[in-house]
Structure 1
Amino acid sequence: MLWVDKHRPKSLDSLDVHPELTTRLGAMSEDGEIPHLLFYGPAGSGKKTRVLALLKRIYGPGAERVRLEHRSFKTPSNRVVELTTVASNYHIEMSPGDAGIYDRYVVQDIIKEIAQSRSISASMGGGGSDDKKSKIGHKVVVLVGVDRLTKQAQAGLRRTMERYTSSCRLILLCHSPSKVIEPVRSRCLGVRVPAPSESEVCSVLTSVCRKESLTLPPALAARVAKASKRNLRRAVLMIEACRVQQYPFSEDQEVQMTDWENYITQLAREVVLEQSPRRLLEAREKLYELLTNCIPADVILKTLTRELVKNLDCKLWGEVFKWAAFYEHRLHMGSKEILHLEAFVAKFMSIYKAYIIAEFM
């Protein structure tokens, strides 16, 4: 088992970062009656871990006894959409964005099914002897990546939330609430989960290594925390990779980056070195390869932008960031991701070529 799963906190009391947020969630779940919740924050900040800990606080140990289910959904055009869900007797967790343009049918069907089924906790109690828990009569639907849903799916989600609010609670997870429509946001209590500080990441890494009976040099922990960009999940994976690479740890030990990041770094260097149709075609092939290896398009765009500006004069930063934001919006609104990524690279080449000509010609 990976360390990131082995040492994941299982309860609110065992969470290491953001104690004030943990206190708020604990107080909110005292009587088991929670509102619809919208957790938002960067990747690796602990959104899902907090949600699972919150469910355990409400329903007891039964919320941890989960099963993997493969579900099939039928669209009005008789197309069958398959999706994998994780469910217990008290909740179900899914990523409806994986269904693509058919996500609205998945969202409506699963919430309707869960809301119309009687919660086991209403008759058996929430996994404990507390009288308050025994009165819980609703189940919870956890939707991951709500900001990746189409606008039609989000509109359908709003209507479904209103209809089944008495028997079903929704916990939504996303990176950016700005990509969630206002009617959905207004029906949820927003819970911001910020990225942990580098010192908090170092503290967690030291704790994980201590549980594994390892000695972690503070200097290496600091370098891993910085390289992970305060992504706690990624930091734990990186320190485990360092353990496989070399132990005992050394302060100057190399911190390995992922292959796809190195690939994008190489692409950025090539684009800065040459701006031509041939180079654009090569860039398209590299971008397509990243997409086929399941790297999200928005992650590719952000990482590529960050690597490009490292090689640029600061005079160009504003222009590059402006067009990166423009094409990120296009990515969200459109369907052919490769076209928008290629268009961004072409636009960058145009901007950089014009700058070089103006400066040195």
Structure 2
Amino acid sequence: MSEADAETAEPAGGRSGIWIEKYRPEGLDDVKGHENVVPRLKRYVEQDDLPHLMFAGPAGTGKTTAAQAIAREIYGDDWRENFLELNASDQRGIDVVRDRIKNFARSSFGGYDYRIIFLDEADALTSDAQSALRRTMEQFSNNTRFILSCNYSSQIIDPIQSRCAVFRFTQLSDDAVEAQIREIAAEEGIELTDDGVDALVYAADGDMRKAINGLQAAAVMGETVDEEAVFAITATARPEEVEEMVEQAIAGDFTAARATLETLLTDRGLAGGDVIDQLHRSAWEFDLPEQATVRLLERLGEVDYRITEGANERLQLEAMLASLALEDE
């Protein structure tokens, strides 16, 4: 089911349905964790003075939700007829800008001064498509507002950025994620332990979508969602396991460190990129000397670059552990 289809479907009772859609905030007041963004967006809506907008930030931080909430508040029950959502990563060519966007912008609509086009993952648009989009934004500025969503605003050409009010969506705080998953657990009648909450927050790393999906997946396994269920279902290693691997390498015990890495990759099902992300997130939280942490981060940067360029993940991670082990000799 596409995101649009899921949005139009009525949530079923009980635990059925996709929870990220079932519990998606409907109004701007319900959007959590963005106290610096929401009041400014509300003022635009209240003053009926919506400019073109650009939402930049990591996945799962509320960019799509904020765009839909704006449409709901402006159009009420008519929001779907006046809100066009396109995913630029799937439809990234110049023809999409020329055809679908222009056709929507030209079509008639009743009772409203403008319609909204939401272009998700706009940083995936080709440079030609972005140039065409700029001209389209100029051509239909009297009756159309664009909301662009992207992970990296630097990938959007300057002429488009200058036409938009830019909002930065940062990773959600642990408190905001915890409040949401506790609320959903209570609504769904799930017993959620404190260590289960901590595990969900850790696994999500500021991504509300990931936290809610993890909660729903873990809830399928049983009535109680605890730390063990969360780490198993989200393919996330416990922080202490990752720390143990690093400590073994720094202590010069490469064989033990390699065995721990093998457990993470094979038994836990982590990908090499997952291991790197967890190491990077937790490096300063490990009980390691500062110099050792600096060496670890230096090696992580090298390994991440090499894997990005196509190198073998396992080989690069083992080489990183070997390098840390040799440093101690």
CA distance in 1, matches of 2:138, 2:326: 58
* Cα deviation, residue 15, structure 1: 2.6
Distance of aligned partners of 1:149 and 1:168 in 2 relative to their CA distance in 1, 3 Å threshold: same
Q: Deviations over 1:27-76 (max 9, x none)?
A: 1112433111001111111111111111111111211xxxxxxxxxxxxx
* Cα deviation, residue 215, structure 1: 3.8
Give the counterpart letter for 1:108 in structure 2: R
* Cα deviation, residue 353, structure 1: 9.9
Check conservation: 2:272, 2:314, Cα contact below 8 A: no
Distance of aligned partners of 1:357 and 1:230 in 2 relative to their CA distance in 1, 3 Å threshold: closer
Aligned to 2:297: 317
Distance of aligned partners of 1:308 and 1:35 in 2 relative to their CA distance in 1, 3 Å threshold: same
Q: Which structure 2 residues correspond to residues 322-333 of structure 1 after superposition, within 5 A?
A: 324=304
Distance of aligned partners of 1:219 and 1:260 in 2 relative to their CA distance in 1, 3 Å threshold: closer
* Cα deviation, residue 305, structure 1: 3.7
Q: Say yes or no: does 1:14 pair with 2:30.
A: yes
Q: Deviations over 1:128-171 (max 9, x none)?
A: xxxxxxxx322111101011222222222222222221221110
Q: Which structure 2 residues correspond to residues 90-239 of structure 1 after superposition, within 5 A?
A: 90-99=82-91, 103-118=93-108, 120=109, 123=110, 125=111, 136-239=112-215
CA distance in 2, matches of 1:304, 1:12: 36
CA distance in 1, matches of 2:48, 2:34: 22
CA distance in 2, matches of 1:178, 1:219: 38
Check conservation: 1:114, 1:168, Cα contact below 8 A: no
CA distance in 2, matches of 1:61, 1:347: 55
Query: SS of 1:37's equivalent?
Result: strand
* Cα deviation, residue 217, structure 1: 2.7
Scaled by the length of structure 1, what TM-score is found?
A: 0.65
Scaled by the length of structure 2, what TM-score is found?
A: 0.71
* Cα deviation, residue 92, structure 1: 0.7
Check conservation: 1:324, 1:344, Cα contact below 8 A: no
Aligned to 1:59: 75
CA distance in 2, matches of 1:148, 1:255: 32
Query: SS of 1:255's equivalent?
Result: helix
* Cα deviation, residue 323, structure 1: 7.0
Query: SS of 2:149's equivalent?
Result: strand
Check conservation: 2:97, 2:129, Cα contact below 8 A: yes
Q: Deviations over 1:322-350 (max 9, x none)?
A: 6746986xxxxxxxxxxx3x248599589
Q: Which structure 2 residues correspond to residues 38-49 of structure 1 after superposition, within 5 A?
A: 38-49=54-65
Distance of aligned partners of 1:317 and 1:7 in 2 relative to their CA distance in 1, 3 Å threshold: same
CA distance in 2, matches of 1:257, 1:220: 11
Query: SS of 2:33's equivalent?
Result: coil
Q: Say yes or no: does 1:89 pair with 2:81.
A: yes
Aligned to 1:254: 229
Give the counterpart letter for 1:254 in structure 2: A
CA distance in 2, matches of 1:350, 1:227: 24
Give the counterpart letter for 2:90 in structure 1: D
Query: SS of 1:254's equivalent?
Result: helix
Distance of aligned partners of 1:185 and 1:325 in 2 relative to their CA distance in 1, 3 Å threshold: farther
* Cα deviation, residue 260, structure 1: 7.4
Check conservation: 1:96, 1:107, Cα contact below 8 A: no
Q: Give the gaps of 5 or more residues in structure 1.
A: 64-87, 126-135, 275-285, 287-299, 329-339
Q: Say yes or no: does 1:241 pair with 2:213.
A: no
Q: Give the gaps of 5 or more residues in structure 2.
A: 1-16, 256-264, 266-270, 284-291
CA distance in 2, matches of 1:10, 1:216: 25
Distance of aligned partners of 1:150 and 1:318 in 2 relative to their CA distance in 1, 3 Å threshold: farther
Decide which moves more: 232-241 or 351-360.
Answer: 351-360
Q: How many residue pairs get matched?
A: 279
Percent identity over the alignment?
Answer: 26
* Cα deviation, residue 111, structure 1: 2.0
CA distance in 1, matches of 2:328, 2:28: 59
Cα RMSD (Å) of the superposition?
3.7
Query: SS of 2:219's equivalent?
Result: helix
